[in-house]
Amino acid sequence: MPALPALPLRSSLPGALWPPLPEAGGATVLAMLWQLERSERLPRPRRAALQLVQARALIRHAARHSTAWAAAWKGLGFDPARDALTPERFARLPVVDRGWLQAAGTAASCEAVPPEHGALHEAETAGTTGLALRFRGTLLSQFMWRAITLRDHLWHRRDFSGHLAALRPLPMREVREDNWGAATAGLCDTGPATGLSVSESLDEQARWLRQENPDVLVTQPGNLRALAEWFLGHGGAPTRLSCLRSTGEPLTPAIRLLAQRAFGLPVEDAYSARETGYLALQCPRHGHLHVQEEAVILELLDEKGVAVPPGAPGRVVVTVLHNFASPLVRYDTGDWAVAGAPACDCGRTLATLERVLGRGRNRLRRSDGVPRWPAFDPWLLPGTQGLVDWQVRQQGPRRFEMLLVVGECFDAASRDVFARALGADLGEPCEVTFRVVDRIDRGPGERREPFIDLQAS
């Protein structure tokens, strides 16, 4: 069944109530959604060929209007500004990282952008001082963000009349709007949207959630876990919730389980980054994510630059197809993800990500040098109450420090349980020292970082 009829369209023409005629901007998004509903079911080779058509237009533009990209693509044996782009040639383009973009500065942006792509805006990624990345976007890149936000709502059949509440990083304490924002503006009517800063205490967040009693809750996985624990301990979870949407950090299987227990709902996850826009949305039928292949070419590569097979972790390397102002071509995002199965029984042929793992610096390393994404989660270990927050920091081979934020009922004997479980997870005994702290600092973008390899930073 097509999802589009689920959109409660708003007519902009007085007297023309049915069928409704949205205003021009909304109608253009609707036209894109109509295309996305078809392209997500195309045979994969057909969609891959279309991606390359768009990538070629982007790469030609970047080669002609950005000195940094033109220099990076010298000596490849073909001219990206003129020659046809084949899959083999695309794979020869160098992978660039954030360090390269920062060194290139404004030279990595284009001095000319097709005026039809709309007004330019400046933005910045989250990052500690010196690590943030400045970039520009266009109305076209915002338009793709808008279309995919709506696709996410439609895939998960969200009720647009509901109250949406977000707990996220905010420059102020609280926001209150009478609609869901830019994605639905001019297209359909929605319920209200409210937001509270995620830096408020858990007690305050819980009180606010009970007061708002929303239908949709959007927050980061780390905060969702803390809230789930809070409501499991105190009771009185909000009663109307029909959707839990997570974003901004890797969502772990443990957090999914805990949220399901606390709120009686599965979590719907999305993977995006400021500089790239949406990368993947959770499948409506499964826990894995579908790559947004109409907006990005997403590659998962091993340390040698070779595509990883399903089930294996790889670096997330992205080409953003519609940003002609600050092009990103084979950009290493710094994230790692696990490649998913090649097919999904939901009928969509979009590639899948089994799981997003996070930043390379959030891995640990065995003493033989093999990196490892730990499954260790002290919150899941039996008989260890009172652990409020934690972080494992690797100081050297087999040497770790575990920071603990603890409540009154914490039993110091739990530390031995943690040390054994961490060693079992890494497959070798390790030395763990413990330090009780008042709070654990968040990473860039208010991200919770359960693991940090201090050897890598």
Residue number, 121 or 285, with CB nearest to Zn ion: 285
Residue from 244, 255, 283, 339 binding Zn ion (CB under 5 A): 283
| 375-402 as b/e: b if 16+ CB within 10 A | ebbbbeeeebeebebbbbbbeeebebbb
* Residue 318 binds to Zn ion (criterion: CB under 5 A): no
Stretch that binds Zn ion, among 39-47, 181-189, 310-318, 344-352 (CB under 5 A): 344-352
Place of tokens 């949205």: 22
Stretch that binds Zn ion, among 62-70, 238-246, 339-347, 369-377 (CB under 5 A): 339-347
* Residue 344 binds to Zn ion (criterion: CB under 5 A): yes
**How many residues belong to the site for Zn ion (CB under 5 A)?**
4
Min dist CB 283 to Zn ion, Å, is: 3
Min dist CB 270 to Zn ion, Å, is: 14
* Residue 3 binds to Zn ion (criterion: CB under 5 A): no
Residue number, 289 or 295, with CB nearest to Zn ion: 289
Residue number, 330 or 348, with CB nearest to Zn ion: 348
In the range 149-178, which residues lie near Zn ion by CB under 5 A? none
Min dist CB 352 to Zn ion, Å, is: 7
- Count of Cβ atoms closer than 10 Å to residue 182 Cβ: 12
Residue number, 289 or 329, with CB nearest to Zn ion: 289
Min dist CB 289 to Zn ion, Å, is: 9
In the range 358-397, which residues lie near Zn ion by CB under 5 A? none
Min dist CB 348 to Zn ion, Å, is: 5
Stretch that binds Zn ion, among 101-109, 211-219, 347-355, 402-410 (CB under 5 A): 347-355
Residue number, 194 or 352, with CB nearest to Zn ion: 352
Stretch that binds Zn ion, among 163-171, 196-204, 325-333, 345-353 (CB under 5 A): 345-353
Stretch that binds Zn ion, among 208-216, 291-299, 341-349, 370-378 (CB under 5 A): 341-349
- Count of Cβ atoms closer than 10 Å to residue 261 Cβ: 12
| Structure-block tokens of residue 26 | 């909304």
| Structure-block tokens of residue 53 | 């058509």
Min dist CB 43 to Zn ion, Å, is: 16
Min dist CB 268 to Zn ion, Å, is: 13
**Contact yes or no for 340/288 (Cβ under 8 A):** yes
Residue number, 356 or 430, with CB nearest to Zn ion: 356
Residue number, 29 or 291, with CB nearest to Zn ion: 291
Residue from 346, 380, 388, 417 binding Zn ion (CB under 5 A): 346
Residue number, 41 or 261, with CB nearest to Zn ion: 41
Stretch that binds Zn ion, among 105-113, 150-158, 166-174, 283-291 (CB under 5 A): 283-291
Min dist CB 340 to Zn ion, Å, is: 9
- Count of Cβ atoms closer than 10 Å to residue 59 Cβ: 23
- Residue from 35, 68, 69 nearest 50 by CA: 35
Instruction: Name the residues that contact Zn ion, by CB under 5 A.
Output: 283, 344, 346, 348
